[in-house]
């Protein structure tokens, strides 16, 4: 199955010129920027081991991450021009492309500034909360979940041991093996590869599903992660690649964020949101909240262990995710601030409009884009974008 969006070299008569130009530029931008890849430190495994060793010895250290930065100056200028031009078009689809162009311009800037003190301010612009109320609700949930997780794990039966498998093991039942099995069973156009620098257990890119190396995992972690990456990320990306309108694959503004919210809704539906998982998600949120409040990497790491009761190894991974892209002193990407807010937002929306799930799983589509893109999914119009609405 081809992952490339179905647009043609020359502008067809049924697609307006502004749409063809926008798709070419934004597809190039998505492939060039690769935000999450650019903020993964090149020396993440080595620094992870060094920081954990220092923590176990009772010392606090700051990470010495290094990054492979790319200068996206020309691309940023092109995206800014495209956003202004598309914003002047009256068609609602043009507004979706304009908003995504503005978002990609920020992501290009973030990729260019990895490892600098500038990144934190840019990250707040990209991953800001939609409202103070939504942010407050997410924080309340995080505090509730971390307390629940701490209590449940503290009272767990110490004799109830479970076999653990390395995430990248080739043995049956490992995360790597199960991911490959599920991708093969569904015929998805993704290669499953091991990525030693990954702080998450897994991540889905354009053509690859990445699996972390050497992480000891339980069966429930394996099955949850496989479901999360396949159902919420790989399948929507595969569907998006078949759409004639490339915005499904490029993603709408905030589409990636709401996709993470949908993934957590699916986890809850599958009974995967258990105490350990809730504690993990809550810890990420609270680490970013501390970072936004001025805490350094060492401060946040200490709080995760001493105040929230995380094991040292898990705390290092959580702090790494919060501060990735930064220098450990100034704020990092902080993308984890979107997860719980998006979970609440998407869950509430689908409770009221359950049929919209089919639209959210048609690509990287945000809730805000459903009114415009929904008719294309439901009615499978042969020509996109749809006609201008009549006055």
178-202: pLDDT as tens digits: 999 999 999 999 999 999 988 899 9
Report pLDDT for 382: 37
- Least confident piece of the model among 156-165, 209-218, 276-285, 287-296: 156-165
d(CA 291, CA 303): 11
Report pLDDT for 1: 36
pLDDT digits 0-9 by tens, 80-132? 999 999 999 999 999 999 999 999 999 999 999 999 999 999 999 999 898 99
Beta bridge partners of 202: 211
Nearest to 281 by CA among 340, 240, 332, 213: 340
Report pLDDT for 3: 37
Report pLDDT for 386: 43
Range 201-210 burial, b when 16+ CB lie within 10 A, else e = bbbbbeeebb
Q: Percentages helix, strand, coil for the chain, rounded to the nearest 5? A: 60, 5, 35
Question: Is 203's pLDDT higher than 50?
Answer: yes
- Contacts by 348-354 with C-beta closer than 8 Å and gap 24+? 350/265
pLDDT digits 0-9 by tens, 264-308? 999 999 999 999 999 999 999 999 999 999 999 999 999 999 999
pTM: 0.89
d(CA 285, CA 31): 28
Instruction: Check: CB of residue 327 under 8 Å from CB of residue 206.
Output: no
Question: Is 387's pLDDT higher than 60?
Answer: no
Question: Is 174's pLDDT higher than 50?
Answer: yes
Instruction: Check: CB of residue 127 under 8 Å from CB of residue 135.
Output: no
Structural domain spans, the chain:
17-158+245-379
Cα 21–chain centre separation: 27
d(CA 7, CA 387): 19
Q: Nearest 5°: CA angle at 62, between 59 and 64?
A: 130
Helix 297-306 vs helix 275-292: crossing angle, to nearest 10: 140
Report pLDDT for 242: 87
Number of H helices, E strands in the chain: 18, 5
The stretch 165-180 carries a mean pLDDT of 96
Q: Nearest 5°: CA angle at 107, between 105 and 110?
A: 115
Report pLDDT for 389: 43
């Amino acid at each position: 199955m081809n992952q490339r969006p179905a647009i043609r070299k020359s502008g067809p008569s049924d697609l307006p010129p502004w749409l063809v130009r926008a798709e070419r530029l934004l597809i190039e931008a998505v492939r060039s920027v690769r935000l999450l890849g650019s903020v993964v430190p090149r020396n993440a495994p080595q620094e992870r081991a060094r920081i954990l060793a220092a923590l176990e010895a009772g010392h606090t250290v700051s990470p010495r991450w290094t990054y492979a930065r790319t200068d996206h100056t020309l691309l940023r200028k092109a995206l800014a021009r495209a956003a202004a031009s598309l914003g002047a078009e009256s068609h609602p689809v043009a507004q979706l492309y304009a908003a995504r162009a503005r978002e990609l311009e920020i992501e290009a800037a973030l990729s260019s500034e990895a490892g600098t003190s500038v990144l934190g301010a840019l990250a707040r612009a990209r991953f800001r909360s939609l409202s103070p109320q939504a942010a407050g609700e997410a924080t309340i949930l995080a505090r509730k979940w971390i307390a629940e997780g701490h209590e449940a794990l503290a009272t767990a039966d110490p004799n109830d041991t479970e076999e653990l498998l390395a995430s990248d093991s080739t043995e049956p039942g490992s995360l790597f093996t199960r991911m490959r099995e599920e991708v093969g069973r569904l015929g998805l156009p993704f290669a499953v590869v091991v990525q030693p620098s990954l702080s998450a257990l897994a991540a889905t890119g354009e053509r690859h599903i990445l699996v972390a190396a050497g992480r000891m995992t339980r069966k429930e972690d394996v099955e949850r992660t496989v479901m999360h990456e396949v159902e919420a990320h790989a399948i929507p990306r595969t569907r998006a690649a078949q759409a004639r309108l490339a915005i499904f694959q490029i993603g709408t503004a905030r589409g990636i964020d709401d996709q993470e919210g949908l993934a957590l809704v699916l986890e809850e539906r599958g009974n995967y949101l258990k105490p350990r998982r809730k504690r993990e998600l809550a810890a990420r949120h609270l680490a970013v909240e501390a970072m936004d409040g001025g805490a350094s990497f060492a401060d946040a790491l200490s709080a995760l262990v001493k105040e929230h009761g995380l094991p040292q190894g898990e705390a290092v991974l959580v702090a790494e995710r919060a501060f990735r892209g930064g220098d450990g002193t100034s704020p990092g990407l902080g993308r984890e601030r979107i997860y719980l807010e998006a979970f609440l937002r998407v869950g509430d929306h689908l409770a009221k409009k359950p049929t919209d799930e089919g639209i959210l799983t048609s690509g990287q589509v945000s809730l805000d884009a459903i009114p415009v893109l929904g008719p294309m999914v439901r009615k499978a119009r042969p020509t996109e974008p749809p006609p201008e609405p009549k006055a």
